[in-house]
Amino acid sequence: MADTYSSYPASSPAHTGEVSRWLFRSVFSLAIATFFLMGLGSATRVMNAGLACPDWPLCYGTVLPAAQMNLQVFLEWFHRLVASFVGGMTLILGGLTVWYRQVLPQWLPRVMGGAIALVLMQGILGGLTVTELLRFEVVTAHLGTGLLFFPYSLG
């Protein structure tokens, strides 16, 4: 395809324009995935499924708890699975916005740096919600960090 950035010389304006457009689209997709993840977290809470996977980071000591699977286990397990995806994408996109900082608005790598800090904190708090048996302060901090992370994930 003539229009993909791989067909332009690496430092041409067309190449840098394509890179920044691709990054903006990816960051926007990350925000949509985060929104979905927050809905899943809320469903986990409403369905009283916060401890449906009693251990962490695995669930019943395995990556896929097929033998124990029911709606509650699915919600908690799927919330963690999507959270791993969102966390990984945040790290990768954050790294890419630093790598391509010359062709991006200055604020974007900084905002993505904040997003990385928040998603790491959210992962730790997610683990603590389970190991501390849904302690009120931890669940509230997990909710608060999720609400803070969402606008950051929009870049």
Of 23, 27, 86, 89, which lies in the binding site for ligand HEM, with binding defined by CB under 6 A? 86
Binding span for ligand HEM by CB under 6 A among 23-31, 60-68, 81-89, 93-101: 81-89
What's the rounded Cα separation, in Å, for the pair 49 and 58? 15
Of 88-117, binders to ligand HEM (CB under 6 A) are none
Q: How far is the CB of 37 from ligand HEM (least distance, A)?
A: 5
- Is 129 among the residues that bind ligand HEM (CB under 6 A)? yes
What's the rounded Cα separation, in Å, for the pair 107 and 67? 47
Task: Tell me which DSSP letter residue 31 carries.
Answer: H
Structure tokens at 20: 């920044």
What's the rounded Cα separation, in Å, for the pair 68 and 82? 19
Of 139, 141, 148, 154, which lies in the binding site for ligand HEM, with binding defined by CB under 6 A? 139
Contacts of 57 (CB under 8 A, 6+ apart): 80, 127
Q: How far is CA 74 from the centre of its chain?
A: 19
Q: How far is the CB of 104 from ligand HEM (least distance, A)?
A: 23
Of 127, 141, 148, 154, which lies in the binding site for ligand HEM, with binding defined by CB under 6 A? 127
- Is 54 among the residues that bind ligand HEM (CB under 6 A)? no
Q: What are phi and psi of 102, to 5 degrees?
A: -60, -30
Of 111, 134, 148, 154, which lies in the binding site for ligand HEM, with binding defined by CB under 6 A? 134
What's the rounded Cα separation, in Å, for the pair 28 and 152? 11
Using CB under 6 A, list all residues that contact ligand HEM.
Answer: 34, 37-38, 41-42, 44-45, 50, 56, 76, 79-80, 83, 86-87, 119, 122-123, 126-127, 129-130, 134, 139, 142-143, 146, 149
